[in-house]
Structure 1
Amino acid sequence: MTDIASKPFAVVTGASSGIGFELAKQFAQNGFDVLVNAEDAGIERAGQELATTGANVTVVQADLSTDEGVERLYTAVVATGRPVDALALNAGIGAGGAFLDIDLARHFEVIDLNVRSTVHLARRVLPDMVARNAGKVLFTSSIASTMPGSFQAVYNASKSFVQSLAEALQNELKDTEVTVTSLMPGPTETDFFHRAEMDDTTVGQSSKDDPAQVAEQGFKALMEGKNRVVGGGVKTKVQELGSKVMPDALKAQMHRGMAEPGSGS
């Protein structure tokens, strides 16, 4: 019988579906035990499916948009008695529409989950990694981090924060064996756009990247200790290259064309 503690241990947030679930599957299929988290009941089904890989799976249903939810998750991590070998900070939501048309509470919800919880959980887990001089952290950023997000303003700004945080930590931890990787997906076939109320937009109705492909690319980059990886297909990679030379005002107008309500066919 395999000693559970002999296997590496990964924590994945936002793991009930989409990229988060596929990331957890990558870990489970590659010899990791996993602790998975999401706020919705779908995390139980996800955990059951992940367990079929032979991994030891711990499920924690908690809302990371609250401090209490983050602390509940971290307490569960500590309770395993195992060091975190890999942390995938993937949980995130969007809110489509004009900035002034979206309730302030909804803006804060995006900030609390995408920004505050990311900082909170990273600050909890990283000290032990640094003390052990071992560990890997994956931030799910976005191509959106590279452009002003007209009609998705707070979401894009939140991902710019995440991308900047990841890059800063890469520098701060460069003299340790702890690595930090940012995964930058483009539009991906998940529930994200439906939950963000963007079904009637151009991007909401367009063909999107496969979350399994994005997760596989992110996992590989994390294991190789790369600083960042653009997740998805050729179209996404070209978009990321173009954003490096395009003026911000033009990027904002281009984003408007993709995300403005009613812009879909």
Structure 2
Amino acid sequence: MPANQLAVVTGASTGIGLELARCCAQAGFNLVIAADEAAIEQVAVDLRRLGGSVEPVEADLATTEGVDKLCAALGDRPIDALLANAGIGLGKAFLDQDFARVKHLIDTNITGTLYLIHRVGNEMLRRNAGRILITGSIAGFMPGSFQAAYNASKAFLDSFSFALREELRDSGVTVTCLMPGATETEFFRRADMMDTKVGTEKKDGAYGVARAGFDAMMRGDADIVTGLKNKIQTTVASVTPNEMLARQHRKMAEPGTARS
């Protein structure tokens, strides 16, 4: 079915985004892939070996201008799948963080993501066809001590995805939320969390997480929590007081908790 259809994947230069793009290419989608770094050009070269067309766009999707640049590259082409994966993390105590970095996290994870979904989603709705995958996180189920803004941003995306799905229930557009746990990517290094327990412990593989998310999107599922451990964690979180969850999160994310 996806042959010659077009998928757009953001945050596609590394990690889950790169593997989502790989899943799309393997399924026969043509691709437009975006990231805020020049490495996206080499990713496009590598993915073209899987057979389809791959167009890279280097753009900062935390900005209106960056999203507009990506949409301009798409032109009038119908988008069959949008995999809105771009996101960043930020460790350490909120009051110790540079607020410019906090704002950039919010602009990347929330504002830019919603603006892109609004633009592409309207195009899908006009055609009454399309698939949207939003990369949320199980982090959205718990107050993130020492990752406060990040976890809050993922709680926003998790909630938003279910609301948007309901609004589009009677249309031909589906919305799926991918909610992974800690995944083996550049995320924790970039978030300056390599001195934490969660930053140094064993994590899920990025391809397996992406594959589960891609398959859920293709089925039109509402959501997918990847990994048995993460499924258990979200179930427990739903019946645990937030104050206790915040205290537990501290044990994973506070600087200095890395395993020796």
Instruction: Give the TM-score normalised by the residue count of structure 1.
Output: 0.95
Residue of structure 2 in register with 1:145 after alignment: 140
Stretches of structure 2 that go unaligned for 5 or more consecutive residues are none
> Which residue does 2:194 correspond to in 1?
199
1:167-246 matches, cutoff 5 A: 167-231=162-226, 233-246=227-240
Q: Is the 8 A contact 2:137 2:181 kept in 1?
A: yes
- Give matches, 1:27-106, under 5 Å: 27-78=24-75, 81-106=76-101
1:238 shift after superposition: 1.6
Query: Could you tell me which amino acid in structure 2 is paired with residue 217 of structure 1?
Result: A
After TM superposition, the runs of 4+ consecutive aligned structure 1 residues lying more than 4 A away are: none
Q: Secondary structure at the match of 1:136?
A: strand
Q: What root-mean-square deviation, in Å, do the aligned CA atoms of Structure 1 and Structure 2 show?
A: 1.1
The equivalent of 2:21 in structure 1 is: 24
**Helix, strand or coil: the match of 1:63?**
coil
Identical aligned residues as a percent: 51
Write the distance in 2 (CA, Å) between the matches of 1:57 and 1:176.
Answer: 29
Q: Name the CA distance, whole Å, in 1 between partners of 2:122 and 2:198.
A: 39
Q: For residue 201 of structure 2, what is the amino acid of its counterpart?
A: S
Question: What is the CA–CA distance in structure 1 between the aligned matches of 2:139 and 2:187, rounded to whole Å?
Answer: 13
- CA deviation after TM superposition for structure 1 residue 234, in Å: 2.0
Moved more, 69-78 or 180-189: 69-78
The separation in 2 between residues aligned to 1:188 and 1:174, in whole angstroms, is: 31
| Deviation of 1:6 (Å) | 6.3
Rounded to whole Å, the distance in 2 between the matches of 1:217 and 1:247 is: 29
Count of residues in correspondence between the two structures: 258
**Within-5 A mapping of 1:156-175:** 156-175=151-170
